[in-house]
Every structure is written in structure tokens, then in C-alpha cells.
Amino acid sequence: MSQKIIVPTLGESVTEATVSKWLKNQGDKVISDEPVVELETDKVNVEVPAPSDGTLESISVKEGETVNVGALLGLISDKILKPSTPKVSKNTKYNPPSKMKKETKSKPTEIISEPLILDNDLEESNKPLLLEEVHETKKVISESAMSDKVSPAARKIAAEANINLNEVKGTGRNGTVLKEDIMSLMGTKPQPSERKIQYGPEERIRMTRLRQTIAKRLKEAQENAAMLTTFNEVDMQEVILMRSKYKDEFQKKYSVKLGFMSFFVKACVLGLKNFPAINAEIQGDEIVYKNYYNISIAVGTDKGLVVPVLKSTDEMSFADIEREIGQLGQKAREGKISIEDLQGGTFTITNGGIYGSMLSTPILNPPQSAVLGMHNIIERPVVRNGEVAIKPIMYLALSYDHRIIDGKEAVSFLKIVKESLEQPKRLFLDL
């Protein structure tokens, strides 16, 4: 009897996907709940597990093809292919050399530690068994055992890149080698000159579903919203001093580093509470005001920009925020982000400063009505009390939908963020 591999429910508003990669080949043995095929949706990649133990009987959809929810991907047969037993000639008997017999009696455990399968040629030639041959057999056996602790995706990439799995340290559960371990071992992407040699003067590859969705949504944001951007600058000196003073104690107590993002999240929540329109969205001819504060954090990955969401940030501590940002960022870069992690955001923060950006005009993340852009911190001359001083300055940019957010609200919101960061004690006083 055969079990069907079907496209699972992919999340809210996601009805189709692209078959990205088969992790098993037709005829391969599979274990129940073991990933057999990877699907690429508009938002995330999804691994489809095997519904039962057996053998991958057939593959119905090729890599690169588009499938709908509930579509048939392949079949798994409950018949498991058993490895054939080597045949031994009845007329041939193996008579070990007398010298080997003596060595075996004196130190049996040093030579025969594993069952040894001998072929007919060895038996017929009556060839002495060398110690090197025993070691080689052990090596094969250990490699076979090692394969049980390698994920299908990692095994496939390692085979394509000709990587010895014995040299890869697994970071998964019980030391399992993951796809990320192989990618890390492979190192960085080829330099442009190397790419030219390998691929020629031009490359043509199909856009991923994620990249297509990003392009579509960003274009819709420009066409549908009355987008405007306002700017301000913030003196980061006090935040830097506070972070430097307490970062070691903070990490020792909470086991997470104290970054700048938690200060920005808290400052934005304070601003959103004072100006609810910035936390609202347009639905038809209605404005929906949201009395919860789910902050989307833009994360750049090799496959494109994803925006996981920190839920209920007004109820989170600084440690909670830093811990959640770290976990979501890692999941996004490893391609393990889920649909639930990307849904429900009310306001977005994007940090181009980590890439060296001085100033930019971020684009809205629909259906949200505003996005805050952070940039790099540069020492600049500023005037304080009639004197010129050198201060670590960051430029801030707030892009907003002018249909529901007035300029006064946008500027005032940005002013609250600025004041909260320049006087971080205000964050603890809710001022």
C-alpha cells in the first residue's frame, strides 16, 4: 500500500508553492516524519515530511514546478528494499594462515573488533589479511554510521560539493549535521572574477518566489500609499555610555548581549502609544487602530529581505527583546522562519546602518502605515550650548502613509524617539 505525499496547508493567504528541492531520490528509504521535499512559498521555505516509513516509490512533481495546497507530490511505498546478502561459494572454504591464527590467539581484540565480510577473490587466493585492511573496514563502517546523523539536505549538498561528512561538526540535535553546517564549511560566495570564469559574462536565473513577492509588495506600497518621509538626528552618546556600563552585567544575568535595537523598540512603543495613527492601517474606507504593539524587524538573508515580528513588545523587557530578536534573526538566516513568525506586525524598524548606510528613505511594509529607518553612527560636529562638540550621531528616517498620518504626528513621533534615546532614563519612567 502506498502513502501520498501532499502539499500541506501553508499558512494564511498562501495557496501555492514551488518545489525547491527533493531531499530524497526515487527508490530511497525514508523514515516517518523525515523531510523528503522542500517547498518555497511567497514568505518561507517549508519541508514536507514523509507520512510513513517506506521507500519513495514515485515523484509526481519536478523541481521548479508550481503546486497548489493539497496537490500530490509523490508516493511512499510501505515495501522497504532490503540490502542483498553477499553470496559465498559452497565449494570454497576460507583457511586463515597459521601465522594469523597465532596473532589472533594472542591479541584477538586488537584485530577482529568488527564482523568482517570477505569476497570470493580473497577466499580463493588465500591471501593474508593485513592490519591496514581492518582499519579501512572500520573507516567504512564509521562513515555508514555517520550518515544516520546527517540531515537529507546536508547530505545532498555535501555530495554535490564533494565534502567529507566526517570532517563536519554537527550543530543539530545529538550532533546531527545540518544544511547550515555544510554551508558554513563551504565558506563565502565566489568573488566576481571567479564567477565570471565559472558562469561567463552574464548569468540568468529565475527569481525566487520570495524575491518576486518582495518586488510585488514594494511596488504596491509605492502605488497605493501616499508615502512621505521625515528625518531627524539623534545623539547616541547616552545610550552608548549606558550600554558600555551595563553590558557585561546584563549578559551575565540574562545570557544575552545588550544591543541598540531594544532601546529603539522601547522608544518606538512609547511613540506609538502617544500617536495611535502611526500604529494603525487602512482597510477599505475604515481606519483600524491597534492597541497592541507588534514590531516587525527587517532581516537581510541570502534569499532576500524577511520581516519577522516581535509580539506584544510593550510587555517585553529589554532582555526579552534582545533574546527574541536574536532567535528570529537566526531562524531567518537559516531559512527556518515560519509563517506565524511573519504575521501580525503593526510597525516596522529597519537598520541599514549595519551595512554602512548614512541616510535612506525606507519603503512601507503593507498594510502597515509607517516604518522607521536606522542608520550608521558617525562622529559629527554639533553645537551644544553655543559650543561645537563631537558627538556620535545617527540619522533617523520615518516613512509614513500620509492618507492617515499627518505631518504633525509623524514629526512628533520622531521627536519622542529622539528624546527617549538621548535621555534613555525616560524609557524606564514611561515619559
Q: What is the pTM of this model?
A: 0.58
220-256 pLDDT, tens per residue? 777 888 899 999 999 999 999 999 999 899 999 999 9
Q: Exposure of 161 by Cβ count < 10 A (0-12 exposed, 13-18 middle, 19+ buried)?
A: exposed
173-195 pLDDT, tens per residue? 677 887 767 766 665 444 556 66
Task: Give the highest mean pLDDT range of 113-117, 138-142, 245-249.
Answer: 245-249
d(CA 207, CA 204): 9
DSSP string, 101-156: HHHHHH-HHHH-SS-----HHHHHHTPPPPHHHHHHHHHHHHHHHHGGGB-HHHHH
Please give the CATH superfamily to which domain 147-206 belongs: E3-binding domain (4.10.320.10)
Res 419 pLDDT > 80: yes
Residues forming the active site? 402, 406
The pLDDT assigned to 345 comes to 92
The pLDDT assigned to 108 comes to 47
What are the domain boundaries of the chain? Answer: 1-80, 147-206, 210-429
Instruction: Give the three-state DSSP class for 248.
Output: helix
Establish how many alpha carbons lie within 13 A of residue 220's alpha carbon, considering only the half-sphere containing its beta carbon.
Answer: 10
d(CA 92, CA 74): 46
Which region among 29-38, 110-119, 401-410 has the lowest average model confidence (pLDDT)? Answer: 110-119
363-417 pLDDT, tens per residue? 898 889 999 999 999 999 999 889 999 999 999 999 999 999 999 999 999 999 9
* Residue range 41-51: mean pLDDT, rounded: 77
Q: What is the 3-state secondary structure (H, E, C) of 393-431?
A: EEEEEEEEECCCCCHHHHHHHHHHHHHHHHCCHHHHHCC
Class of the CATH domain delimited by 210-429 = alpha beta
* Domain range 1-80, CATH architecture: Beta Barrel (2.40)
Residue found under cell 516509490:
57
For 61, other C-beta atoms within 10 Å of its C-beta total 19
Res 355 pLDDT > 70: yes
Query: Considering the chain, what is the average pLDDT of its residues?
Result: 78
